Amino acid sequence: MSNLCSTTSALAVAAIVAIGLGGAVAAKADDHVKDAIGVVKLQKGEPIVVGFWSVLSGPDTSLGLDQLRGVQIAVEDWGGEIGGHPIRVIEEDSLCSAEGGQMAATKLAANQKVIVAVGPACSSAAVPGAPILWKSGIPTIGISPTAPPLTAPDRSTDYDGFTRVVWNDSWAGKQTAEWAYNVAGAKTTVGIHDGSPYAEGLVQAYLDSFEALGGKVLGKEAVSPTDTDMRPVLTRVAVSKPDLIFYPDFVQVIAHITRQAQSINGLEDTILLTADGALVPQVIEMTGNAITKLHLTANDLSPEALGAGYPDFVKKYEENFGEKPIAGFHHFGYDAAQVALMAIKKVMVLEEDGTAYIGRKALRDAILATSGYDGLTGTKTCNDYGDCGTFNYTVYKYTGTTDPYELGKNPRKVYPAD
């Protein structure tokens, strides 16, 4: 994988200066180690352990691997250490499921040297996993779990340790409805979700906003993530001949719906719209020629819409891993790691002999206090409930099966026009 640089890159330095965190100051431990939750003590040279939990197996593997690579580049940009303590990333597979999230979080929580966790990719994993981590005093910075309840004002205190650098689907649902109704011209719609917190929440936010705009909601359908025959549900949907079907699911469901919809009478002119779950190369192979019928919504991934450091990041990605980014959340992984590492640097107390102390609640508070960090995915300023991201609405389309997966080319941006 990547080799650690001997010095912190200009990008990381600029990020630190931008939010005014400064360095870890040598001081007497007794003056600074009190913390309401607990303190992690690191002997001289002992590593700072960062937990990474995301989907690392199955059909959505590219999603998690892409994020991990972003985290690894962030560590590289720090020179691999803070205050003389090497940064060590340990990985757990959250499988993009509730069971996987619970298992990954439990493993990380059992290691009391884990200071902070970055991830997961999926809301399905975040919902059960984040409380497990926080009960052990480990704050979590979500990379791409977008379900609205995770940062809702009425969320349980079990989620007090959760923040995210990605957007909130309550925003995405509203903007998707505005595109569908005002730009695509759809006046009737149906939503299909796979039962996951992410998909169900985004579909509902979209349908509510579509109806508020004056559109007519013809139905909301549910499928299982393991379903392969979508023809029964598509046949039911086709009876009402909707102008648009919105199904922001994961790669297998997206591929099956898109491919099988081509053979259903009544859906010939229906717009097929999914979301960022389709930003993986596997969707091209699994969907076949029907991929050109698919629209997908996502945060704007074009270089001009991203942070000034993004081109250098992509260059480093290619140098380190021998290929261009393989999914759509590598830069969110980078930003999540940067927020975590900047907060660690802010609260770390160093003794003259190199011993370090990091207060767990102090770290959570420092993460939540992130303000004005100019990240690869936009400026990050967290609100009181952990939403730190922004959302620049974009619609993409795949060009076909002969062109390789490459963000900006296949799929290409079709809205807003450049």
**Which residue in 280, 381, 362 sits closest to 327, CA to CA?**
280
* Fold (CATH) for 169-302+394-415: Rossmann fold (3.40.50)
Query: What type of residue sits at position 323?
Result: E
pLDDT given at position 418? 65
Question: Residue 137 above 50 pLDDT?
Answer: yes
Task: Calculate ∠ Cα 35-38-44, nearest 5°.
Answer: 100
Report residue 363 as tokens. 């770290």
What CATH architecture is 10-166+329-387?
3-Layer(aba) Sandwich (3.40)
Q: What is the pTM of this model?
A: 0.82
pLDDT given at position 280? 87
| Residue 362 near residue 35, CB atoms below 8 Å | yes
Paired sense of beta strands 81-82 and 378-380, if any: unpaired
User: Phi then psi for 337, rounded to 5 degrees?
Assistant: -65, -40
The Cα 158–Cα 150 span in angstroms is 10
Query: What type of residue sits at position 249?
Result: D
Question: Residue 96 above 50 pLDDT?
Answer: yes
**Which residue in 177, 296, 187 sits closest to 248, CA to CA?**
296
> 150 pLDDT band (50/70/90 cuts)?
very high
Domain ranges of the chain: 10-166+329-387, 169-302+394-415
Q: Please report the sign of the dihedral spanned by the C-alpha atoms of residue 356, residue 79, residue 380, residue 98.
A: negative
Query: What type of residue sits at position 109?
Result: A
**Which residue in 239, 141, 271, 144 sits closest to 198, CA to CA?**
144
pLDDT given at position 299? 86
pLDDT given at position 130? 98
pLDDT given at position 32? 56
Identify the H or E element spanning 394: strand 393-397
Q: Name the CA dihedral angle for 368, 372, 378, 383, rounded to a multiple of 10 degrees.
A: 30
Q: Percent of the chain beyond pLDDT 70?
A: 92
Q: How does the average pLDDT of the chain come out, rounded?
A: 91
CB atoms within 10 A of CB 384: 8
Give the chain's length: 418
Q: What is the DSSP letter of 387?
A: B
Paired sense of beta strands 356-359 and 349-350, if any: antiparallel
Bridge-partner residues for 25, per DSSP? 349
Task: Tell me the pLDDT tens digit for each residue of 272-323.
Answer: 999 988 988 899 999 999 999 999 998 887 877 888 899 999 999 999 999 9
Tell me if domain 10-166+329-387 and domain 169-302+394-415 are identical in fold: yes
pLDDT given at position 392? 84
The Cα 145–Cα 128 span in angstroms is 12
50: Cβ–Cβ under 8 A, 6 or more apart, which residues? 71, 75, 87, 88, 89, 90, 114, 115, 116, 117, 118, 337, 340, 341
Q: Output the CA–CA distances (angstroms, integers) from residue 401 to 58, 248, 284, 289, 411, in the order listed.
A: 22, 21, 6, 6, 11
409: Cβ–Cβ under 8 A, 6 or more apart, which residues? 399, 403
pLDDT: which is higher, 304 or 389: 389
Q: How many CA atoms lie within 13 A of 126 on its CB side?
A: 30
- Picking from 16-20, 298-302, 399-403, which range would have the lowest pLDDT averaged per residue? 16-20
Q: Is the backbone peptide bond immediately before 149 cis, with ω within 30 degrees of 0?
A: no
Mean pLDDT of 346-357: 95
Say whether 63 sits in a helix, a strand or coil. Answer: helix
48: Cβ–Cβ under 8 A, 6 or more apart, which residues? 42, 81, 82, 85, 86, 87, 88, 115, 344, 356, 358
CB atoms within 10 A of CB 262: 14
> 390 pLDDT band (50/70/90 cuts)?
confident
